[in-house]
Structure 1
Amino acid sequence: MLLAGCSSDPEPADAPSASPTTSATPTPTADDAQAEAAVAEVVEKYVAAMASMENEGQVDPAPMFGIASDAVAKEESARVKDLVDQGIHREGHPTLGEPTITVDGTTARYEVCMNQDGWVGVYEDQKLATEYGPLPTGWDLTLADDAWTVTATVPDKDVTLTC
């Protein structure tokens, strides 16, 4: 037995299929790229000032002015004073890997793998062993009066970057 059916509205053989929806990752704007570049520049200056202070045993926070908040500058100065009080200074410079920079309006986070192996502590003319390799490091920054400043060191446990 053969059954056949008819319909008054046949479906066309070439019916268009629903096109898949895609969501694109937003392309960073020129403003985003400019903000990220400004954040990176401030962090590079901050790391250079930090290295200079620790290498020279300079407890005056002046090298941090304009690139870090007063609180962060004082924290760095206190850290250097602790080293100086123990008879320790550093030689060399840390190296930074490729950063992850997140900007959200007037706040930013800069995370990076920082290798301090080439930035060794020295005590009584003896270099201290520091072969830890790259470690996750981060800083929070704030934009005020058209200038980014480091406003906090991110605790290691809160840095999302894996080195």
Structure 2
Amino acid sequence: MRNKRIRRAGPAAGLALILATVAGCSSDGGDNEEPIDTGGSSSPSPDAEGGEGDEADLAEFYAAYWDALVELENSEELNVELLDGFVTGELLEGEVSRLRDFRANGLSRSGEPVIEDVTITVDEDTARIESCKSEEGWDVVTGGEVIPNVVPEELLAFHPYVVTLERTSEGWLINETLPQEEATISCS
């Protein structure tokens, strides 16, 4: 993983508003071929019908989801097909809307977030994945130039990132991102 530092100054009001929505589903994409470190930890769910096999599959799925999201956000193009097979339609609509605003302002990302301490729980056809995420190395850029001081401070430090999933006929899909306050893990 790359460890770039975002210089801190005063974020522009418009960029701050756009970046406030980044907190929900932001991710890093781009040309980095290193897989995102999922920390190798998951918590077996005693009630899980699928058990550890599902958890291993979900760990791979989650890493692939971040790879796709990072690629999407790092690209200047809005290729939402990258998220096919990862998120439900409603979640995809929100992501597309957020990224359209981002692109309309000439913005994309460079680098990638750091994802650690992944915890997976499975309960039959539903699952929950919690991880600690830092966007410190995931810069906002315009015209290939890093825009300093626009990523909110709270996103630079490790913070909980929580998604819920449902098993569909096509496989697992992320159906919701939850507020940090609903996390059961601590990232401090």
TM-score by length of 2: 0.66
Match of 1:134 in 2: 158
1:100 is aligned with what amino acid? T
C-alpha distance in 1 between matches for 2:103 and 2:134: 22
1:83 to 102, 106, 109: 102
Contact (CA 8 Å) 2:74, 2:109: kept in 1 or not? yes
1:66 to 76, 81, 85: 85
2:67 to 7, 23, 48: 48
Matched residue SS, 1:161: coil
1:121 to 128, 140, 157: 140
| Residues 15-47 of structure 1, C-alpha deviations (whole Å, 9 max, x = no match) | xxxxxxxxxxx8798941111111122221211
| Residues 101-140 of structure 1, C-alpha deviations (whole Å, 9 max, x = no match) | 1111100000000111111111352333346221110111
The reply on whether 1:92 has 2:111 as its aligned counterpart is yes
Matched residue SS, 1:99: strand
2:129 to 110, 120, 129: 110
User: Which consecutive residues of structure 1, in runs of 5 or more, have no partner in the other structure?
Assistant: 1-25
Instruction: Call closer, same or farther: CA 1:104–1:56 in 2, change over 3 Å.
Output: same
Aligned residue pairs: how many? Answer: 139
The reply on whether 1:152 has 2:171 as its aligned counterpart is no
What CA RMSD, in Å, does the superposition of the two structures yield over aligned residues?
Answer: 2.4
2:107 is aligned with what amino acid? I
Match of 1:21 in 2: none
User: Which consecutive residues of structure 2, in runs of 5 or more, have no partner in the other structure?
Assistant: 1-44
Matched residue SS, 1:57: coil
C-alpha distance in 1 between matches for 2:46 and 2:181: 30
2:165 is aligned with what amino acid? L
1:127 is aligned with what amino acid? I
Structure 1 residue runs of 4+, over 6 Å off? 26-30
TM-score by length of 1: 0.75
C-alpha distance in 1 between matches for 2:137 and 2:68: 16
Instruction: Call closer, same or farther: CA 1:143–1:30 in 2, change over 3 Å.
Output: closer
Match of 2:120 in 1: 101
Percent identical pairs in the alignment equals 27
